[in-house]
Amino acid sequence: MKEYNICLLGGDGIGPEVTDEAVKVMNAVGKKYDMKFNFTKALIGGCAYEKYGVPLPDETLEIAKKSDAVLLGAVGDWKYDTLPPAVRPEKALLGIRKGLNLFANLRPATVFDELISSSTLKPEIVQGVDVMIVRELTGDVYFGEPKGVEVKDGKKVGYNNMIYWEDEVRRIAKIAFETAMLRNKKLCSVDKANVLDVSRLWREVVLEVAKDYPEVELSHLYVDNAAMQLIRDPKQFDVIVTGNIFGDILSDEASMLTGSLGMLPSASLSADGPGMFEPIHGSAPDIKNQNIANPIATILSAGMLLKYGLKNSQANDDIENAVKKVLKAGYRTKDIMSEGMKEVGTKEMGDLIVKNL
């Protein structure tokens, strides 16, 4: 039996409820593969702020660093909207990404046949969509210096710095090419090289890395065009690689192809330390503790944890298949409910997935 230490960060809102279901599923699938998970809970986000006055306590980061992988629910609540930026829950996310050096963010957008009708796009456009967005996560305008708001010549001015070092681009490009090699060998790099210097460097480095991956068909799109192509004809994409801010925006757009934010997982990886796995949806405080949140995105994130974090692809396949079976059998949480289907709660959905493993 192999043991793994998992840092469990439920966070705020529906976070703890959905991670509870993912834990159930992990324990069940773990038995099959002789894996044992030791979960250590820690606080992050608003709940951490309440207790420690900071959204990312040192203790939490330490537990995360010492773990084999981190499973996160979600952070944030409207009640913290008026806090100073430095202690807002979102700051904890940026802090843990930087603290664990999670530079590679994988955001798959996969359309489940059973849920095609939940998308706002025409079925023939979204059926079969399977895009992997590889978003750089620790650089760009999110972290660039100098930044701030100050008064100059009697006027307020606010600024951030969109900046990439060549090695930052190189390492994310490598991950993207490797990802493409394991899929359909198509990679689209998204930038704004017609306007931005930082994007010209981005493109130059991506082209350089491409030399090591002759089998991958590489294309480049400007981000405005990419945003358009993603809803016009999403099936043209296999893997997309882009910087932090463009990836933030495009991954939200891609998620809507699938119709529900409640279905999409993500993985954030570093070069050597533990990865962090979380649903792409937020904390949805309006529906917390009502047993109506959709746990599937978090359960699929646990699948990514097993695949990318603990290198057990089969366990991930099992989880994905179990989710598909449950959807096929007509079970739905409220957010993806449609006529003729059977509505179930958060816990019931978790149990059904366990049963179908």
List residues with catalytic annotation: 142, 192, 224, 248, 252
CB of 93 to ligand IPM, least distance (A): 5
- Which residue in the shown chain puts its C-beta closest to ligand IPM? 90
CB of 282 to Mg ion, least distance (A): 9
Q: Which is nearer to ligand IPM, 94 or 125 (CB)?
A: 94
Burial class (CB in 10 A: 0-12, 13-18, 19+), 196: middle
Q: How far apart are CA 39 and CA 323, in angstroms?
A: 23
CA 174, 175, 178, 183 torsion: positive or negative?
negative
β-sheet bridge partners, residue 38:
5
Q: Which residues have CB under 8 Å from 152's CB, separation 6+?
A: none
Integer CA distances (angstroms), 225 to 66, 129, 141, 285, 329, in order: 42, 18, 21, 34, 39
Q: Which is nearer to ligand IPM, 28 or 96 (CB)?
A: 96
Cβ atoms of 164 and 201 closer than 8 Å: yes
* 3-class DSSP state of 177: helix
Cis check: omega of the bond before 285, within 30 degrees of 0: no
Cβ atoms of 172 and 247 closer than 8 Å: no
Mask for 197-236, x = binds Mg ion (CB under 5 A): ----------------------------------------
Interacting residue with ligand IPM among 20, 90, 217, 253 (CB under 6 A): 90
Q: Which is nearer to ligand IPM, 121 or 254 (CB)?
A: 254
Mask for 154-193, x = binds ligand IPM (CB under 6 A): ----------------------------------------
Interacting residue with ligand IPM among 68, 248, 320, 335 (CB under 6 A): 248
Would you count residue 12 as binding Mg ion (CB under 5 A)? Answer: no
Give the range of 18-26, 71-79, 241-249, 306-314 binding Mg ion by CB under 5 A: 241-249
Would you count residue 130 as binding ligand IPM (CB under 6 A)? Answer: no
Question: How many CA atoms within 13 Å lie on the side-chain side of 166?
Answer: 6
Q: Which is nearer to ligand IPM, 93 or 126 (CB)?
A: 93
Give the range of 86-94, 125-133, 172-180, 289-297 binding ligand IPM by CB under 6 A: 86-94
* 3-class DSSP state of 12: coil
Of 177, 174, 194, give the one whose Cα is nearest residue 185.
Answer: 177
286-315 positions binding ligand IPM, by CB under 6 A: none
Would you count residue 115 as binding ligand IPM (CB under 6 A)? Answer: no
Give the range of 38-46, 138-146, 209-217, 243-251 binding Mg ion by CB under 5 A: 243-251
CB of 89 to ligand IPM, least distance (A): 8
Give the range of 59-67, 120-128, 247-255, 294-302 binding Mg ion by CB under 5 A: 247-255
Task: Decide which of Mg ion, ligand IPM, none touches 341; Cβ closer than 5 to 8 Å per partner kind.
Answer: none
Q: Which is nearer to Mg ion, 95 or 345 (CB)?
A: 95
Burial class (CB in 10 A: 0-12, 13-18, 19+), 131: buried
Q: Residue written as tokens 């030791």?
A: 38
Q: How many residues does the chain have?
A: 357
Query: Do the strands 148-152 and 331-332 form a parallel or antiparallel pair, or are they unpaired?
Result: unpaired
The tokens describing 113, both together, are 């046949």
Q: How far apart are CA 255 and CA 26, in angstroms?
A: 24
Interacting residue with ligand IPM among 25, 64, 93, 257 (CB under 6 A): 93
Task: Decide which of Mg ion, ligand IPM, none touches 178; Cβ closer than 5 to 8 Å per partner kind.
Answer: none
Q: Which is nearer to Mg ion, 142 or 164 (CB)?
A: 142
Q: Which is nearer to Mg ion, 168 or 248 (CB)?
A: 248
Cis check: omega of the bond before 274, within 30 degrees of 0: no
Residues near ligand IPM, by CB under 6 A: 90, 93-94, 248
Residues near Mg ion, by CB under 5 A: 248
